[in-house]
Chain A
């Protein structure tokens, strides 16, 4: 993206824009994100240990039911409208954990239900999740391909 030559009016508008733009309290936001994100992970750890103690899951395999449970919690929080409030407060603290992924899919499904299940729910569910899956799968493909080829050629 090269710098386009701006006319004097555009330059002035840009200065005006910057003056009136909402200043983001970066430090406060980071602190809130830290606390909420950390708490969600803390709850996830407790859920993990719960599954290890009371069921036959080891440290390696407890990840699966833990993730499913966290997404279940996000379904409840999203359904009752609580997750949006948490999101307003915590920003990335609620978007980065896997509950944020769940929230985006679930809230899209709930919102578009009025348009019908096939076109509304099914068609709109993966709005945000789609880009996550796209880039996740493609980058994993590239990384795994490179690593496998390197191992096959004896470099690694």
Chain B
């Protein structure tokens, strides 16, 4: 169990370093960086490489935004497995729905509770 914490820290940190290099060396905006990382996650998920990384690093691989891309691909593939080609569309948000719903719900609650800092 302790090994999991260690590798979660390392792998999570490394993915953020990749993002930071995109900021500094690639001169990309946060929007560009995050979009690129999601696409990278989707491609790695398609190759079946991201799931073993999640087995190894736990939250170190599920917390960065790359896991969002991987979950989209996995959801689509799972549905396509059962329902054919149309599953690619219907299954996409199956796994990621908790993240998006949470973001929408909490931002509405946040807008109700908090005042903007000017």
Contact = CB atoms under 8 A, between A and B. Distances in A.
Report A-B touching, CB under 8 Å: yes
A72 interface: yes
A136 B68 contact: yes
Contact of A101 (B41, B68, B89): B68
Interface residues of A, number: 80
A66 B110 contact: no
B103 A41 contact: no
Contacts of B104: 105, 125
For chain B, the bracket of interface size reads 35 or more
A104 B29 CA distance: 13
Given A42-B5, A135-B35, A140 B20 contact: no
A45 B80 CA distance: 30
A24 B69 CA distance: 29
B49 interface: no
Interface in B33-75: 33-39, 41-43, 45-46, 58-60, 62-65, 67-69, 72-73, 75
Contact of B102 (A68, A128, A147): A68
Contacts of A109: 107-108, 110-111
Interface of B: 1, 4-5, 8-25, 30-31, 33-39, 41-43, 45-46, 58-60, 62-65, 67-69, 72-73, 75-77, 80, 85, 87-89, 92, 95, 98-104, 106-111, 113-117
